[in-house]
Amino acid sequence: MNKESGRSVSVWMDAATARRGSLLQDLNADVCIVGAGIAGITTAYCLAREGKSVVVLDDGLIGGGETSRTTAHLSNAMDDRYFEIERLHGQQGARLCAESHTAAIDRIESIVAEEAIDCDFERVDGYLFLHPGGSRELLDRELEAAHRAGLTQVRRLDHAPLKAFDTGPCLNFPSQGQFHPLKYLAGVVDAIENKYRGVIKTGTHVDSIKGGVPARITANNGRVVTAQSVVVATNTPVNDLVSIHTKQAAYRTYVVGARVKPGSVRKGLFWDTANPYHYIRLHEEPSQGYDLLIVGGEDHKTGQADDAAQRWAQLEEWAGVRFPMIEGIEFRWSGQVMEPIDYLAFIGRNPLDQSNVYVATGDSGQGMTHGTIAGILLADMIQGRKNPWEALYDPSRITLRAAAEFTRENINVAVQYTDWLTGGEVSSTDEIQPGTGAVVRQGLKKVAVYRDVRGNLHGRSAVCTHLGCVVAWNSAEGTWDCPCHGSRFDHDGRVINGPAISDLAVEDEISPEPRRLVIENP
């Protein structure tokens, strides 16, 4: 299992994610970046090409986390709608939002050209269409708000250009984009290392991030990177205990890749207005002799459902009705999305921290453009340049008009702590099948128990090391997921996704159980 991902495999993982040597000596740099996904690598590139010395650290592979699980839509069409962005952030905020996402697509295109990256980048149009029973008024409101935001080329059409089914009225967002995210990262990494002499270390778990002059980033082997600035680009910040995590929520989202004959589906980005919405794009697989229709949706709160098979089946049914030319399903995977309460990413100085500690989080389902915005904005901030997007994405912002969303999300988190009062998911460890896990009550404790394929049991505390929620088994990905703030741990309890930064604690014994218990080293 890819340490950062899970059991499911996305179409992009065919292009092997890159591994580098781990951090084996202390280093000093102008900027240390923790996280080698789209946000971290883009930030490193933007700074390195301006002459800054950069060190990037990641505990897994380059692009091996959520970047490898995206559907790689490059869009300035906001999935939460421009009329909602305008309500929460004002008309100027909506204009800056449109400007920044448009600039992100342009920047990706320019990097692809400048560095001659073969990553299947191309411009395509986007189409927002109504789900069955959807109100046409929504399209009217969104069209007007998009125009006020400066996207004056957006227009209303009678239907999207799909032969398979009639979408009905839709909005056309021209000049969007798509690419192969891991091929893109590979090209950017090559430029960072070979043109700009940046340093990238993988297999390096960061235990501590401390601001100050210099900032100190300590790995679990004791090695230290000192830097004038540090950027935490770990999907969700591992250096922030509470502040940002009360303002965003983690969701699992599901994707299927369906085989269709080449040319049978028009290229483009397509979204409906359902909640959760469906998103569609086409990826060509010429070496395989087919195109891959990528269809996603069926989101739920991380750790609050374990029914991936049903959700994939629902996606397949939804797609099959609309695209009868589907010949079979080649891929099923899931990913994690951080959804801010006010629909925009948090990019900038970390709240309540030293002024030289920066974060990038809150992808809101548009991680490729938000991650690129992070690279542009953080490079400007670290270089001391003013950027008009800074206030819009400020992690310290308080959006009063999002108070209802803030209350709803945090009530949901509070409810999860009642898991302490319930029994285990199984009454006996005998019920846990090989290759699966379950939470077991052991007196006053709750234990996350995994049975390996040889039948041996492995016990870890079921208490998330972030803020003490009880984790839940994710049978599709073979991980322990926290229902409060989205931390994830592999089947052996090793942390693979923040905000937790530490592994689940080892449990010494489980009883009653006739089979051998394997005690993990901490």
One-character DSSP codes across 229-263: EEEE-SSS-SS-SSTGGGSEEEEEEEEEEEEE-TT
**Ramachandran angles phi, psi of 41, nearest 5°:** -70, -40
pLDDT band at 417 (very low <50, low <70, confident <90, very high): low
- Whether the per-residue pLDDT at 518 is higher than 50: the answer is no
What pLDDT, on the 0 to 100 scale, is given for residue 401? Answer: 67
pLDDT band at 35 (very low <50, low <70, confident <90, very high): very high
Q: Architecture of domain 422-518 in CATH?
A: 3-layer Sandwich (2.102)
What pLDDT, on the 0 to 100 scale, is given for residue 345? Answer: 95
Distance between CA atoms of 494 and 102, rounded to whole angstroms?
Answer: 38
Residue ranges, CATH 3.30.9.10, the chain: 120-177+247-340
Q: Which of 21-25, 67-71, 103-107, 415-419 has the lowest mean pLDDT?
A: 415-419
> pTM, whole model, 2 decimals?
0.93
Q: Which letter, b or e, does each residue of 470-499 get, where b requires 16 or more Cβ atoms within 10 Å of its Cβ?
A: bbbbbbbbbbbbbbbbbbbbbbbbbbbbbb
Average pLDDT, the chain: 91
pLDDT band at 409 (very low <50, low <70, confident <90, very high): low
In 323-440, where does DSSP find H-type helix? 367-382, 403-416
CATH number of 120-177+247-340: 3.30.9.10
Look at 365 and 265; give whichever has higher pLDDT.
265
Q: How many residues does the chain have?
A: 522
Residue-wise pLDDT for 464-489, tens only, equals 999 889 999 999 999 999 999 899 99
Residue ranges, CATH 2.102.10.10, the chain: 422-518
- Whether the per-residue pLDDT at 403 is higher than 70: the answer is no
User: What percentage of the chain exceeds 70 in pLDDT?
Assistant: 92
Other C-beta atoms within 10 Å of 147: how many? 14
Residue ranges, CATH 3.50.50.60, the chain: 11-70+182-245+343-408
- Whether the per-residue pLDDT at 48 is higher than 60: the answer is yes
What pLDDT, on the 0 to 100 scale, is given for residue 402? Answer: 60
CATH of 11-70+182-245+343-408, one of 3.50.50.60, 3.40.50.300, 3.30.559.10, 1.10.760.10: 3.50.50.60
What pLDDT, on the 0 to 100 scale, is given for residue 521? Answer: 47
**Ramachandran angles phi, psi of 276, nearest 5°:** -70, 150
Longest dimension (CA), the chain: 69
Distance between CA atoms of 73 and 60, rounded to whole angstroms?
Answer: 24
